[in-house]
Amino acid sequence: MDSDKIPNSELITRRTNLQKQIQENNLDAILIPLGVYFNYYFGKKAEPSERIIAGIIPPKGEPFIISPTFEQSNIEISTGITDIVCWGETDSPYQIIANELSERQIGQNIGVDPKLWIKEVEFIKKFSKVDLISAHQILEEQRMVKTDWEIQQLRKAAEYSSEGILASVPQLKAGITEIAFKEILTKELSSRSGNPLAFALIQFGENSAIPHGYPTSRKLKNDEVVLLDVGTSYMGYQGDITITVPFGKPKDFEMIYEIVFEANRKAFDADKEGMIPAQLDELARSHITEKGYGQYFTHRLGHGIGLEVHEHPYIVGTNTQPLKSGNCHTIEPGIYIPGKFGIRIEDDVLVKANNAELLYATPRHNF
């Protein structure tokens, strides 16, 4: 199974919608190099390298791609695009880009992917004299609103991430290391999603008080907290779930867990289209503060999820852009007490017109 292949019909719809935005914003084209946006609009998952590959989407008509000659067949197979302009190893790709923009009578206002390397910006401007304008707002706003197809993939990613963690928890045992437990998680998640473990924060005992702690040789002991922040992908879309459980009966765990869980649900219950992310963050944060643990909640409430684990919209105190139906994001309040333990409860949610919906209803322990 090609687990990262986005249907061609989905790609065409995305590019068509982008062309409407190009016209409305008086741009003459948008240039998108390899990276997450190239994957989003052209269906090829790859990171940029020293040899520039870029798709150019005009306001009307079909897109074309600039590519090294030796990558032509690979690009055509991956994207389904046949209009590929090639450059050889002794050619200047930036001169090729300039020539194509001129010959195709594409104007001077070129929007660019905000992830375009600065050296590429400098070389393109040197050869073509165009005005390169960051298209981050146009591109981010389109990616933030998930299509029905994308939501289906995110549901699966959340399900496989959750179920993989839950299947791993009974395999915890005294003496196992965080690193060794990662092998168990990897097996359980990949057997469900068909994809590798995307990431795993595995934290035992006092390590769980580190908001982002990676697996170490630290061994699990009785009556300790276990924090598992884990994700796998499905069709290229990311799950991101955190489950915190007791191994035995750690002191004060149940009381603090309940505070975090209540904060999670307060935000979830208020989440809907039109809600301000900063207000969601404040709902969870104020609850934790009222209970006396505000100083121990040290990060934002959540972040968007999609092709990337972290993307817009960010559920943070500085974000005042109202949420829209189709936004997908995490809700993940936490309390982290140094030297003792940390608890985080993270869900993946879909914003709808009148409420939010869990992409997967992760079972939580009833302590």
Whole-angstrom distance, CA of residue 85 vs CA of residue 91: 12
Would you give the end-to-end CA distance of the chain in angstroms?
40
pLDDT at 5: 85
Largest CA distance in the chain: 72
* Domains defined for the chain, CATH in brackets: 8-143 (3.40.350.10), 145-358 (3.90.230.10)
Q: H/E element holding 111?
A: strand 109-112
pLDDT at 352 over 70: yes
Q: What would the two tokens of residue 348 be?
A: 């993946």
Closest CA to 244 of 335, 310, 183: 335
Q: Is the dihedral of CA 149, 152, 153, 154 positive or negative?
A: positive
Whole-angstrom distance, CA of residue 93 vs CA of residue 71: 13
pLDDT at 197: 86
Cα radius of gyration rounded to whole Å, the chain: 23
Whole-angstrom distance, CA of residue 261 vs CA of residue 334: 9
Amino acid identity, position 47? E
Residue-wise pLDDT for 43-86, tens only, equals: 999 999 999 999 999 999 999 999 999 999 999 999 999 999 99
Whole-angstrom distance, CA of residue 62 vs CA of residue 106: 13
pLDDT at 149: 97
Q: H/E element holding 32?
A: strand 29-33
pLDDT at 365 over 70: no
Residue-wise pLDDT for 254-312, tens only, equals: 999 999 999 999 999 999 999 999 999 999 999 999 999 999 999 999 999 999 999 99
Residue-wise pLDDT for 311-338, tens only, equals: 999 999 999 999 999 999 999 999 999 9
Q: Write the CB contacts of 32 (distance below 8 Å, at least 6 apart in sequence).
A: 38, 41, 42, 54, 55, 56, 57, 112, 113
Q: What would the two tokens of residue 325 be?
A: 């139906």
Give the pLDDT mean for 157-170: 96
Whole-angstrom distance, CA of residue 168 vs CA of residue 27: 51
For residue 150, the number of C-alpha atoms closer than 13 Å in the C-beta half-sphere is 22
For the chain, the average pLDDT equals 95
Residue-wise pLDDT for 129-163, tens only, equals: 899 999 999 999 999 999 999 999 999 999 999 99
Q: What are phi and psi of 299, to 5 degrees?
A: -135, 170
Closest CA to 251 of 340, 337, 178, 366: 340
Whether 169 and 202 have beta carbons less than 8 Å apart is answered as no
**Residue owning tokens 């401007």:** 125
pLDDT at 2 over 50: no
Determine what percent of the chain is predicted with pLDDT higher than 70.
98
Closest CA to 187 of 163, 207, 206: 163
Residue 25, CA distances (Å) to 28, 59, 137, 291 in order: 9, 10, 11, 48
